[in-house]
């Protein structure tokens, strides 16, 4: 089976000839790994056996020059500063409401982004690079929860959901309008070459969900359903990246239409791998769960290997699993030797299983 066939078999909850694997890596980690191994990014992914590749569109920011101290601006006009995408320098809608503008008026009056500024040029050539060999991830990341937080502040968003529910619903609707239109452009351009609509919103903390099932169903599910419906209309699987402990929300996520959950942090409340496999493994693809926090980031190659093999023993039987770290991006400070030990252990586990099942 090709890497793509192996991944899609896992989505179908079949037991493929081997467990597929995933790697999300930050630019900092990739730069370090490529320099250490003397390869380019594709060479690194071949070395570890990554079964996925990703295509991305670009946002053409029409705004003025960034304010002093800002390093990045979201499509919604929120400027940020700091490491990576940083932290918001201000919450524009919160400022409007603080100045006395009613919440509904503030949401309606915001300058919402134009989806036509999402540049899909070159998407087809990106996807065709791999000749159908790998499972292709695509679509807009669509972090509607995070953008709503950026616009009104986290505390402000929770107050809005309780005190101005209609305004909160409209806020999520307007943010999601952009992402649906953006991903529609992407999928119209290259959806026939994409396998998985990959989106990301972090609804969990170390201790559990950031919001309860009642708020999730009222405010989050409508957006999540729209995105799942979009992916399914284009014949794609839809996979959500979600950090933290969010087990109580999983039944709602599944009813909203998700086909895959990533990246399953086992040190967060409710995210013990074997229990997730037992309770949800029949209904959704589970991707990740190999402890990045301690075993990979702070451990040793021996610890990384042992943790990987332990997780595979719990998650792989019966199919419906993709092996990989429990975070979407390996950070620059992650020891390369531990990462190599993780992927070598996946290969070792697969080889051992083939030997056990050989006629």
76-118, pLDDT tens digit by residue?
999 999 988 899 999 999 999 999 999 999 999 999 999 999 9
Q: What are phi and psi of 279, to 5 degrees?
A: -90, -25
pLDDT of residue 199: 98
pLDDT of residue 212: 98
In the chain, the largest separation of any two C-alpha atoms, in whole Å, equals 75
118-134, pLDDT tens digit by residue?
999 999 999 999 999 99
212-261, pLDDT tens digit by residue?
999 999 999 999 999 999 999 999 999 999 999 999 999 999 999 999 99
Per CATH, the number for 3-55+194-357 is 3.20.20.210
């Amino acid at each position: 089976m090709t890497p793509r066939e192996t991944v899609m078999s896992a989505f179908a909850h079949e037991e493929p000839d081997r467990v597929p694997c995933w790697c999300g890596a930050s630019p900092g980690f990739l730069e370090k790994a490529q320099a250490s191994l003397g390869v380019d990014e594709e060479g690194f992914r071949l070395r570890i056996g990554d079964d996925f590749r990703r295509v991305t569109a670009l946002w053409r920011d029409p705004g003025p020059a960034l304010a002093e101290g800002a390093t990045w601006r979201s499509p919604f006009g929120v400027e940020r500063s700091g490491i990576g995408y940083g932290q918001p320098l201000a919450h524009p809608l919160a400022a409007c409401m603080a100045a006395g503008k009613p919440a509904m008026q503030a949401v309606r009056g915001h300058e919402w982004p134009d989806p036509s500024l999402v540049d899909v040029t070159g998407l087809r050539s990106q996807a065709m690079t791999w000749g159908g060999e790998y499972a292709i991830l695509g679509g807009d990341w669509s972090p509607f929860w995070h953008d709503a937080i950026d616009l009104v502040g986290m505390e402000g968003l929770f107050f809005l959901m309780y005190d101005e529910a209609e305004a909160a619903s409209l806020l999520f609707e307007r943010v999601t309008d952009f992402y649906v239109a953006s991903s529609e452009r992407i999928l119209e351009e290259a959806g026939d070459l994409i396998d998985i609509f990959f989106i990301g919103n972090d609804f969990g903390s170390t201790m559990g969900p950031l919001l309860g099932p009642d708020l999730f169903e009222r405010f989050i599910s409508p957006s999540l359903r729209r995105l799942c419906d979009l992916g399914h209309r284009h014949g794609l699987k839809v996979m959500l990246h979600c950090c933290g402990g969010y087990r109580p929300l999983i039944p709602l996520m599944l009813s909203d239409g998700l086909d895959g959950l990533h990246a399953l942090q086992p040190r967060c409340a409710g995210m013990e791998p074997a229990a997730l496999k037992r309770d949800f493994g029949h209904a959704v693809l589970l991707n990740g769960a190999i402890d990045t926090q301690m075993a990979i980031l702070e451990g040793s190659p021996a610890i990384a290997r042992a943790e990987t093999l332990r997780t595979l023993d719990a998650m792989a039987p019966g199919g419906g699993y993709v092996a990989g770290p429990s975070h979407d991006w390996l950070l620059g400070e992650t020891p390369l030797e531990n990462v190599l030990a993780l992927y070598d252990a996946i290969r070792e586990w697969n080889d051992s299983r083939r030997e056990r099942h050989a006629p």
